[in-house]
Structure 1
Amino acid sequence: MAKRLSNESSIGDVLKAFIETNKLQGGMDKIDVQQAWKSLMGNGVNSYTKEVVLKGSTLYVSLTSAVLREELSYGKQKIITMINEELRKEVVKDIILR
């Protein structure tokens, strides 16, 4: 049975407990990574981005431009660092550009 919180709990604490109790953190991470990609990469890269999917700790990014895919492949580690810093935790460990 779920642990009952006191009436003085903040809404943030209640939401964290709800996410933890219902094992929703994986889904929240997927959404957060997609939003972080959009905000960090900007309109130029986003216009060539078809799909951003997090599976486990690997981020799969589908791009429509082979040239852009090649350019981004040189900075994979920097992109991983930027996304993890944006999320304030280590979610992404590898990026696969397709």
Structure 2
Amino acid sequence: MARRNNDNQSISDILKEFVDSNRLQSGLNKVDVQDAWAKMMGNGVNNYTTAVQLDKDTLYVSLSSSVLREELSYGKQKIIDMLNESLGKEVISKLVLR
């Protein structure tokens, strides 16, 4: 049961407390990573992306083009850095292209 505070709190503080108390951050990270992938990679890559899944700190991306997969494999660390910067925190440490 949530505790009741008599002092005024901002909505962002209340939501953050709710997310922390219900351990929802990992689920929110999964959604945020999918949105960040779509935004950062653009339509060209998104047309060939079939699935984006975050499991702990590893991002699994399924691609329908082997040529694109090979091309993206050269810049894995740059992609990880761009996505983490977009998210504002270190969520991804490893990228697996399938």
Shift of 1:7: 4.7
* Structure 1 outlier segments of 4+, above 2 Å: 1-7
Q: CA separation in 2, counterparts of 1:50 and 1:68?
A: 13
CA RMSD of aligned residues (A): 1.1
The residue number in structure 1 matching 2:72 is 72
Q: CA separation in 1, counterparts of 2:25 and 2:5?
A: 20
The residue number in structure 2 matching 1:31 is 31
SS state at 2:91 partner: coil
The residue number in structure 1 matching 2:83 is 83
Q: TM-score, with normalisation over the residues of structure 2?
A: 0.95
Identity across aligned pairs (percent)?
60
Provide structure 1 residue ranges, at least 5 long, that are not aligned to the other structure. Answer: none
Going from structure 1 to structure 2, the CA distance change for 1:5 and 1:72 (only over 3 Å counts) comes to farther
Provide structure 2 residue ranges, at least 5 long, that are not aligned to the other structure. Answer: none
Q: TM-score, with normalisation over the residues of structure 1?
A: 0.95
